[in-house]
Amino acid sequence: MNGRLLSIDITRIVGLLLVLLQHTQGTNLLPSWVHNISINYLPYIFYIDYGRIGVWLFIFASGASLGLNHSEFSGLSDVKDFYKKRILRIYPSYWVGLLLSLLVFNWVIPSLTLVDIARWFSGFQQFFATSSIEVTKINITYWFIGVVVSLYFLYPLLLYAINKHPYLSIMSFFAISLASRCVMYWIFPMYGSGWDWFPPCRFFNFALGIFLVKKGLFPKATSTPAIAFLSVMSFYIYLVHFPIMCATNYPNIGIVFFVVLTILFAFLLYGFDRSVQNLFSRRTNMLRRHSDNIESQT
């Protein structure tokens, strides 16, 4: 937790809170006077609500965090190591969240095909969907996984462009994102909210975080341990909150159960993920020592 930036952690926490607020709209967990923020005179492609602001902040914070901690790649081995760490960071926890969703929404299991299961476990289910039902079948919030994994995969290229031509790159990413949103909205509406999940639509959002960090345009204050931990927990809370929200969707006491169970399951998922990361780290170190021993013997 040491050395984390307060600005990035606060951005991630605020993003999570806005996403939670959006998802509880229309449920029995919140009073009826809580309404969405919206700009109704804009086309739906530019519609603003709590959740979209939250996702924007989440992706921006991800780009900034990567720009701060993975600012250089000396070769393909560094890129491969980066991909391995990102995949291990996302997928084990995501799969547990997916199983929790199937447990809560168990009535969808008979309708799932092997293709459905493969798509959902890959996190790219929305890339193949031609109806909203295919995207929302198990967990409506998990479209975010495919987006963030795609951006992680493209990160070395985006970083290279920003390092070489920062201002030209960030303007180009803005133009690409704007054009992509228009294309997905007017030409490919059958993909359902493609302007939210199609990766090029998020290039500017993600790259802006990288750009600001590389240019040093951010507050330098470091996080407190509590803020840093809440920021780390935000990913696990995101993964488990939706099925728990649906299972506790009743007035008054429901919000208490939602908060308590979400925190509990997020802690359990956090512990599971730490175990996976530690196991992978020990295995990596063991293989490295074994390789070093062989080289010393030869």
pLDDT at residue 196, rounded to an integer: 87
At 219, the amino acid letter reads P
Among 76-80, 142-146, 215-219, 280-284, the minimum mean pLDDT is found in 280-284
pLDDT at 42: 64
- Where are the chain's structural domains? 6-297
**Three-class SS of residue 200?**
helix
- Name the average pLDDT for the chain: 89
Q: Could you tell me the two tokens for 193?
A: 């909210």
- Give residue-wise pLDDT tens across range 229-274: 999 999 999 999 999 999 999 988 999 999 999 999 999 999 999 9
The per-residue pLDDT for range 36-89, each reduced to its tens digit, is 666 565 666 677 888 889 999 999 999 999 999 988 898 899 999 999 999 999
How far, in Å, CA of 104 to CA of 242, rounded?
10
Tokens 């495919």 correspond to 146
The pLDDT assigned to 264 comes to 97
Distances in Å between the alpha carbon of 157 and those of 154, 164, 177, 209?
Answer: 6, 11, 16, 15
Two structure tokens written together for 237: 């809370």
pLDDT at 171: 97
Rounded CA gap, 294 and 135, in Å?
49
Q: Which residue has the higher pLDDT, 195 or 210?
A: 210
Task: Answer yes or no: are the C-beta atoms of 115 and 124 closer than 8 Å.
Answer: no
Q: Is the separation of the CB atoms in 54 and 18 below 8 Å?
A: yes
The pLDDT of residue 228 is: 95
Taken in order 227, 66, 16, 108, the sign of the CA dihedral is negative
Task: Determine how many CB atoms are found less than 10 A away from the CB of residue 282.
Answer: 10
> Whole-angstrom distance between the N-terminal and C-terminal Cα of the chain?
40
**pLDDT of residue 293 exceeding 80:** no
Q: Which residue has the tokens 């920003």?
A: 162
* pLDDT at residue 132 in the model: 64
pLDDT at 1 over 60: no
For residue range 178-201, what is the model confidence (pLDDT) as tens digits?
A: 999 999 888 887 776 788 889 999
The reported pLDDT for the residue numbered 234 is 97
